[in-house]
Amino acid sequence: MKSYHMDWDEFRTAGKELIDWIADYHEQIESRPVKSQVRPGDIHAALPNDPPETGEQWPVILKDVERHILPGVTHWQSPNFFAFFPANTSGPSILGELLSAGLAVQGMLWETSPACTELETHVLDWLVGMLGLPDRFRGNGVIQDSASSASLCAILAARERAIGDLPAGDYHEAFGRLRAYATSQTHSSVEKGARIAGLNVEQIRRIDVDENYAMIPESLAEAIRADRKAGYIPFFVCATVGTTSSTAIDPVERIAEQCAGDRPPWLHVDAALAGTAAVCEEFRALQRGVERADSYCFNPHKWMFTNFDCDCFYVADRGALLKALSILPEYLRNRATESDSVIDYRDWQIPLGRRFRALKLWFVIRHYGVEGIRYHVRRHVELARSFADWVRSDDEFELLTEPSLNLVCFRHRDGDRKTEAIEHAVNDSGRAYLTHTKLGERYTLRLSVGQTSTEYEHVERVWRLLKEAAAAV
Amino acid sequence: MKSYHMDWDEFRTAGKELIDWIADYHEQIESRPVKSQVRPGDIHAALPNDPPETGEQWPVILKDVERHILPGVTHWQSPNFFAFFPANTSGPSILGELLSAGLAVQGMLWETSPACTELETHVLDWLVGMLGLPDRFRGNGVIQDSASSASLCAILAARERAIGDLPAGDYHEAFGRLRAYATSQTHSSVEKGARIAGLNVEQIRRIDVDENYAMIPESLAEAIRADRKAGYIPFFVCATVGTTSSTAIDPVERIAEQCAGDRPPWLHVDAALAGTAAVCEEFRALQRGVERADSYCFNPHKWMFTNFDCDCFYVADRGALLKALSILPEYLRNRATESDSVIDYRDWQIPLGRRFRALKLWFVIRHYGVEGIRYHVRRHVELARSFADWVRSDDEFELLTEPSLNLVCFRHRDGDRKTEAIEHAVNDSGRAYLTHTKLGERYTLRLSVGQTSTEYEHVERVWRLLKEAAAAV
């Protein structure tokens, strides 16, 4: 009788072929245009309208990946990828994701796979030490899919702490008086998270930034004071260590000082990209004051060779978070939960189910060792500084800010249109990919150096490409 | 110079070894206790307190998986796993997750990897046909991590449609008047989602259920009428096709009728487990009326051999969802988005980033073919029916409900304590794993038949185990 399942011998053959395919892909990745050159609808048009009634053979499927999918892939793992922030990965991380898929356990409760929970807490404790984070984060870390979800969880915990104990009749009146504080440079997920949590855009105060696009603590203090006086409830402050536009560094310590006092707002520190840099002693000062944060996150899936999704989120005190997100229906009750001696991570996140994501992070840290991660972070910062030097001494291009880490913001002196034309020329060439932002209304190119395999030659080459494009457009 | 990276030849060796390891694991899975037997803290205690300063070799890492992690794993892929709902997987799905990790692209925007977006829309369109879903879902499907996140997105879209256009001053007053409708059997994620979205528990009305634990449409109509009269705003109704406790089937068509009229509440249909069954014509009647839903979800990661996370979420009209979740900072602007000819899935979900999850679903459908999926779904339902027959004709155990699909709810006639003792005896034996719920205050065992490799012999064996436990405890 036909079983339809892929038997495990067939899996062995197909899996090994796919391992080779992936290795080949990475070894040859520079032969492909970094940014996919397809037009909207191309991929869709190449695929059959209906699913197959009868199963197909693996070699046919893999061939279609090559033929129909790859042309539509933008190669995030190319060493010539300088766009957005990196979402880098590495061999040990891919193996971790493979093992997670192979075991295919659910980590929603400690009980549903104890190792999935305990390894996660354990590895996140390792990171507390590796990054010089405060001891009160120990035992209070969890992997989220993204910094967006971490921000949302922080906002929900903050909302809970501020108004969660009010009776239902007073809740929405107080809700309308909540005020959150961020800057124009804060990641968009904070506004999105606040809206999801039920706030109006008007309830998010935009605090002024200085000439380096960092929050001005005195302006925050003033806004909180004025809002309290007007009867509002300051409940949430987001400080960013390494903004998305320009890696600006909000001064966490001085911001924390403004939050202190009676009924302080919840201080969340978003270090999605830059947090990894704290593995090097010399960059830890960037997040000085983090020991006073109520919550903190950074993304190993950005700059720690661990593939998406892997955001590490810590809280100083888990009480408000759990109160905001806990719910225990009968079908999830079990002896371990009731013994109160375990963590059930379903209460620390938006979804119920969760994959075994700690494996990839564990593999990466063990494979590289702390010194290996440190080495590559330093190397990326050096490469970005070299690039910034070339821009600084160039007569066509100029820097928009001094790079704090591995991101360089620059533009052509002829202005926005020229700068944008250069961006498109480079990206359309397929030889490198970089994206833009606006700083002080000026169209600004961003060169983000963080891909696993990016080396000096790639940075030098994209600089030549930019110069050629400037001459041509 | 030492690079610290795993080079691609080392990856080939390690990857192939891991492929064999996973195949061995599955082939020998029945030799392990289904439910992990470790105690709280065991895994943590076995691991070193500090991360390694210097990198370690792959064979050492893999050995630690075997030694330290596996004892703490509950084997969700065992054919003797009958707990919760299944979270099944299969060879082609593991390969899909591996390829996704290998390519490691970000699908937040069409532009950031067009194939990641277009394949997803395409495969979700396939499923519209496969499951007999309404045509208006075509082009309006998206993969979420879980049904919890789908419920939250549905609630947010509903909230947007109901009060999103109100001026800020009126927003929170109206917010307090919102009312959502569910039953005592609705999945806990709907309450969690409503709370995340800013509602009080008091704003969620629990509609009465009938003797099969299904929503009574007349009670819903009455509640909506009374709430409208009292000045409340009925904005969201959740109908469940296959509840978590007992696979009860809320009558979608008659519920939809109660929602019709002026300013109708948003109707979300949660078919997380049962949706897959619609691949068989004979089970489609269970979700009759789905063509009138505003949104719908089901989980291929439960019963379609596709590993977690993979929830398919559809909306009839994407307008309110996008209005609730869109945000476009400068650093994400690009020509494709501005051409308005593409989907940017970041606006369809809570997080910003996203993996290439369509690959595994595409592989599964192509490998099994529609007939293969249909075959296994029918087989699981048959097995559950056989088990129900044994219970029905037994003098010790009794059925609590007639199974609608692949879940059997039953208990020992001697009552709660005996039933619970039997559950623990079976689970502690390591030979099978099943969980419980409460139906009408009665402690109820749930036998959920949906693991990929579960066959007649496994169902027969767990029945024998239950009988033995009943005799022994």
Asked if residue B235 belongs to a domain, the reply is: yes
Residues 6+ apart with CB under 8 A from A370: A130, A279, B51, B52, B53
Asked if residue B171 belongs to a domain, the reply is: yes
Q: What confidence tens digit (pLDDT) does each residue in B330-351 have?
A: 888 898 888 888 999 999 999 9
Any A CB within 8 A of B121 CB: yes
Same domain, A300 and A218: yes
Asked whether the predicted pLDDT for residue B1 surpasses 60, the reply is no
Residue B168 confidence class, pLDDT cut points 50, 70, 90: confident
What's residue B262's pLDDT? Answer: 86
The CATH number of residue B255's host domain is 3.40.640.10
Q: What confidence tens digit (pLDDT) does each residue in B456-469 have?
A: 999 999 999 999 99
Asked if residue B61 belongs to a domain, the reply is: no
What's residue A168's pLDDT? Answer: 85
Q: What confidence tens digit (pLDDT) does each residue in A349-387 have?
A: 999 999 999 999 999 999 999 999 999 999 999 999 999
What's residue A5's pLDDT? Answer: 96
Same domain, A378 and A335: no
Asked if residue A46 belongs to a domain, the reply is: no
Domain final residue, candidates A315, A337, A355: A355
- CA distance to partner chain A, nearest, from residue B464 (Å): 24
What is the rounded CA–CA span in Å between residue B292 and residue B290? 5
Residues 289-348 of A with CB under 8 A from B: 301, 307-309, 324-325, 327-336, 339, 341-342
Q: Which residues of A touch B342 (CB under 8 A)?
A: 40
Asked whether the predicted pLDDT for residue B2 surpasses 80, the reply is no
Asked if residue A25 belongs to a domain, the reply is: no
Q: Are A376 and B22 an interchain contact pair (Cβ–Cβ within 8 Å)?
A: no
Mean pLDDT of chain A: 96
Mean pLDDT of chain B: 96
Q: Are A114 and B375 an interchain contact pair (Cβ–Cβ within 8 Å)?
A: no
Asked whether the predicted pLDDT for residue B180 surpasses 70, the reply is yes
What's residue A338's pLDDT? Answer: 86
Same domain, A193 and A330: yes
What's residue A1's pLDDT? Answer: 53
What is the rounded CA–CA span in Å between residue A206 and residue A181? 6
Residue A135 confidence class, pLDDT cut points 50, 70, 90: very high
- What 8-state DSSP symbol labels residue A65? I
Q: Are B443 and B420 in contact (CB under 8 A)?
A: yes
What's residue B310's pLDDT? Answer: 98
The mean pLDDT of A413-424, rounded to a whole number, is 98
A342, closest residue in chain B (CA to CA): B40
Q: Which residues of A touch B11 (CB under 8 A)?
A: 19, 22-23, 91, 94-95
Residues 6+ apart with CB under 8 A from A279: A130, A131, A304, A370, A373, A374, A377
The mean pLDDT of B235-257, rounded to a whole number, is 98
What is the rounded CA–CA span in Å between residue A418 and residue A415? 6
The mean pLDDT of A116-140, rounded to a whole number, is 98
> Which structure tokens are listed for B265?
């509440």
Asked if residue B188 belongs to a domain, the reply is: yes
The mean pLDDT of A123-128, rounded to a whole number, is 98
| Token pair 């807490």 in the structure block, residue | A121
Angstrom CA distances, A304 to A212, A294, B97, B193, B234, stand at 26, 23, 20, 32, 47
Q: What angle do CA A380, B101, B304 make, to 5 degrees?
A: 160
Backbone angles phi, psi at B434, to 5 degrees: -140, 160
Residue A337 confidence class, pLDDT cut points 50, 70, 90: confident
pTM confidence score? 0.97
The mean pLDDT of B34-45, rounded to a whole number, is 96
Q: Are B245 and A367 an interchain contact pair (Cβ–Cβ within 8 Å)?
A: no
Same domain, A396 and A439: yes
Asked if residue B371 belongs to a domain, the reply is: no
Any A CB within 8 A of B66 CB: no
The mean pLDDT of A321-345, rounded to a whole number, is 90
Asked whether the predicted pLDDT for residue A255 surpasses 70, the reply is yes
Domain final residue, candidates A312, A330, A355: A355
Chain B interface mutation, best of A53, A82, A112, A276, highest count of B Cβ atoms under 10 Å: A112
> Which structure tokens are listed for A217?
């603590």
The total of structural domains in chain A comes to 2
Let me know if A174 is exposed, middle or buried by CB neighbors in 10 A (0-12, 13-18, 19+).
middle
For A219, the enclosing helix (H) or strand (E) is helix A217-229
Same domain, A370 and A341: no
Any A CB within 8 A of B378 CB: no
Same domain, A337 and A398: no
Same domain, A349 and A368: no
Any A CB within 8 A of B164 CB: no
Same domain, A332 and A448: no
The mean pLDDT of A23-31, rounded to a whole number, is 97
Q: Are A102 and B69 an interchain contact pair (Cβ–Cβ within 8 Å)?
A: no
Q: What confidence tens digit (pLDDT) does each residue in A304-326 have?
A: 999 999 999 999 999 999 999 99
- CA distance to partner chain A, nearest, from residue B98 (Å): 5
What's residue B335's pLDDT? Answer: 87
- CA distance to partner chain B, nearest, from residue A389 (Å): 24
Domain span including residue A285? 106-355
Any A CB within 8 A of B285 CB: no
Asked whether the predicted pLDDT for residue A433 surpasses 90, the reply is yes
Angstrom CA distances, B446 to A330, A422, B383, B438, stand at 12, 62, 14, 10
Asked whether the predicted pLDDT for residue B243 surpasses 80, the reply is yes
Cross-chain CB nearest to B331 (options A44, A119, A437)? A437
Domain final residue, candidates A355, A372, A387: A355
Q: Are A106 and B9 an interchain contact pair (Cβ–Cβ within 8 Å)?
A: no
How many helices (H) and strands (E) would you count in chain A? 16, 11
| B261 or A39, which is more confident | A39
What is the rounded CA–CA span in Å between residue A234 and residue A215? 17
The CATH number of residue A383's host domain is 3.90.1150.10
The mean pLDDT of B243-249, rounded to a whole number, is 97
What is the rounded CA–CA span in Å between residue A36 and residue A27? 18
Q: Are B115 and A68 an interchain contact pair (Cβ–Cβ within 8 Å)?
A: yes
Asked if residue A26 belongs to a domain, the reply is: no
The percentage of chain A sitting over the pLDDT mark of 90, rounded to a whole number, equals 95
Backbone angles phi, psi at A144, to 5 degrees: -105, 165
The mean pLDDT of B281-285, rounded to a whole number, is 97
The mean pLDDT of B126-142, rounded to a whole number, is 98
- CA distance to partner chain B, nearest, from residue A331 (Å): 5
The percentage of chain B sitting over the pLDDT mark of 90, rounded to a whole number, equals 95
